[in-house]
Structure 1
C-alpha cells in the first residue's frame, strides 16, 4: 500500500499559520482532512480517526510541510497491523534534528480508539507521550515503527509563544525520559543517550532562526522545571496551562520594543530573553552538572545546515526485537538480524547483546557460537546491563570448566548495572 492511498488528517489547535499550511497540504493531497481546535493530544487523535473512518490513516501536525513525494512511499505489508504505529522522521527547521517530534505518522484506528494517553491516561499513570508501548485502558498496546526516508519539515517557531511552548514541552519531556525523575546532578547520566543528545541540541541550536531564542529559552526552562521544580511534568499536556503561563508570567516579563511578531503583534525585549536564556544555561551547569553549549547565530546556522537525517539505531534495535520475538510482527529471524546489525554498526550495546542472544539461543538462521561470544563481550564493554548475566550463562554452558568466580563476577556486574533475574519481578531480556 502507498501512503497516498490513506486518508491524511491535518491537526491544528491555535496556530495562526495553520490555514496556509493546510492549504499547502491540500495542494499536494487534495483529499486531506482537518481536525481543528480539539483540546488534548489523545482527544484530537481520536477525532482524526473518526474523521478518517478507515482502518489506517496518516496524521500531519499543523507546523509540518509534507513533500508531494510522500504519496508514493510504499508501506511494508507486515507493519500494517492494528498495533503498529508507523512514522517517518520530520526535519526540524530550527535545530535540524530528525526524529519523532513533528513526524508524519500512520496510525491503526483500532489502536487510537483504545489508547488512553496524555490527558486521558488512567488515574495514577503518568503520560507525557503517546506511550503506545505500554498497557493502557482496555488492553491497548502498540509498537512504534520508524521507517527510513524523510518527507517533511516541521517549523514550530513561527511566533514567540509557539516557539517557547514547543521548546519547553520537548525539554521537559526529554529530561523526564526513561527512569529520570528529579535526581539533580545525576540526571544526565541516567538519561537515555538519545534523549541526552536531543535535549542538548534543543537547548543550544537555533539562534539563527526567527524566534529561535524562544525555543532555547523554553527548552532550558523545561529541563530545569522538570528536574528541580515542585511541578507536575504532565502539565505539558495542558495547553490551557501553557496559555496562562505565557500570558501571566512569560510575556509580561519580556515585554519590550526591540522586536515584534508579525503574526500576533507581540513585542518583546530581545536582549532580556537572551540574557535570561544564558542564565538558565548557567543554572543547568551549576545545579544539574548539565552543559548546554552557547552556539551563536552564525555557528548555529552552519551546524544545522550540516545535520542530516539518520536512522536511529535504538529504533532499529527495537524493530529487531519485534521480528526476533514475534511481538506485533510475524517472527522473521533474518529481518531481526538485519536490524540488529544496523545497531551494531553504530556500536549500540543492546544490539550487540540481542545479536549475541540470537546466536546463543540458536534463533539465528545460522547460529555461530564465536559470534555469540564476540557480541556478548562487546555488549559488556559497552555497559549493557543484561549482557554480563547472559555471557555468564553462555560460558557456563559452553565451558563447564570455567572458573566459577569469573561467572560470579559477571553476574555481580549485571546486578550492579540494575539487572538481576533472580530478583522478584525481573525478567530476562
Structure 2
C-alpha cells in the first residue's frame, strides 16, 4: 500500500467507474471518490475533506493511469510546493503535458485556494511539473466531452495561461488542439478548440462571463447551440 491517500474526482465521465477501478489497482490501495458535485472550485476543495493525510493523489474522472506507474518511487512534496503534476498523453492530438495529468497535492493548499479560472492555478505555493508521463487523459468519451475539453483548454490558453506558460508555448498547444485528428471524436475536440478561441476573444476580458467555462450545465447548453444537439448523448 502506498504512503499517500488518493481521490478520484468525477462529474459525468462515462468511463469514470472503470478508471476508478484501474487507479485503485495501480496505486495498490483504496481510492476515495467524489462524484457529481456542481461547481469545479467547490468540488476540488471538497476532495481535501475526504483524506486523512496532508498529501494525496488526485485524479480526474477521465484519467487512465499507466499500469506500470511506479507509485513506490514517488517522493513527498518539498516544503513550499503545493502540487506536483505528472504529464498525460492526449489521445486526439499527440500532445503530452500536464493537461489532465495525475496530481500529488496538499490538503491545506486546497483549503486555502484562491480564485482562478484554471482552478488549481490558485493554490498557495509552487506547482511542480514532472516530466514523467503517468497515463492518458481519456476525455474523448463522447462528442460533448471531446468538444468540452478542446473548448475549455483553448479558451484558457488564448486568454493567457495562469501557470506562466509563454505565449509561444500556448500557441503551439492551441494549434495542436485545432488540428486534432486521431482517436474517438477528434473532430469534436478540434471544433471545441475553435469555439473556445471565439469565446475567449468575445468575453476574455470579462471575468464573470468567462467563468462560465467552469459551469457544466452552461457548457452542455453551449455545445447544443453551437454543434449537433443530437450528439450530446454520444
Give the Cα separation in 1 of the matches to 2:84 and 2:132: 12
Q: Give the whole-Å Cα distance in 2 for the aligned partners of 1:249 and 1:92.
A: 24
Matched, 1:234 2:211: yes
Structure 1 match to 2:96: 98
Q: What is the Cα deviation at residue 195 of structure 1?
A: 0.7
Task: Supply the distance in 1 between the matched residues of 2:26 and 2:81 (Cα, whole angstroms).
Answer: 28
Higher strand share: 2
CA distance in 2, matches of 1:31, 1:178: 34
- Distance, in Å, in 2 between the alignment partners of 1:102 and 1:57 is 16
1:320-379 Cα distance to aligned partner (Å, 9 max, x none)? xxxxxxxxxxxxxxxxxxxxxxxxxxxxxxxxxxxxxxxxxxxxxxxxxxxxxxxxxxxx
Kept in 2: contact 1:40–1:237 (CA 8 A): yes
| Equivalent residue number for residue 43 of structure 2 | 44
Q: TM-score with structure 2 length normalisation?
A: 0.87
- Which residue in the other structure is 1:88 paired with? 86
Q: What is the deviation of 1:229?
A: 5.3
2:62 matched to which residue of 1?
A: 63
- Gaps of at least 5 residues in structure 2 are none
Deviation of 1:86 (Å)? 1.0
Contact 1:128 1:236 in 2 (8 A): no
Residues 178 and 59 of structure 1, relative CA distance in 2, 3 Å threshold: closer
Q: 1:24 maps to what in 2? A: 22
1:113 aligns with 2:90: no
Unaligned runs of 5+ in 1: 119-126, 134-140, 180-190, 267-429
Query: Which structure has the bigger radius of gyration?
Result: 1
Identify if the C-alpha distance between structure 1 residues 114 and 229 changes in structure 2 by more than 3 Å, giving closer, same or farther: closer
**Aligned-pair CA distance for 1:251:** 2.8
What do residues 88-129 of structure 1 show as CA deviations (whole Å, max 9, x unaligned)? 1111122121222101111111111011335xxxxxxxx334
**Residues 55 and 229 (structure 1 numbering): CA distance in 2 closer, same or farther, change over 3 Å?**
closer
1:224 aligns with 198
Which of residues 179, 184, 187 in structure 2 aligns to 1:213? Answer: 187
Residues 182-227 of structure 1, C-alpha deviation per residue, up to 9 Å, x if partnerless? Answer: xxxxxxxxx61111111111111x3232100000000011012211
- The equivalent position to 2:132 in structure 1, one of 138, 146, 149, is 149
The answer to whether 1:158 aligns with 2:164 is no
| Higher RCO (CA < 8 A, seq sep 6+) | 2
Q: Which residue number corresponds to residue 227 of structure 2?
A: 250
TM-score, length of structure 1 as denominator length? 0.49
Cα separation, partners in 2 of 1:156 and 1:250, compared to 1, 3 Å: same
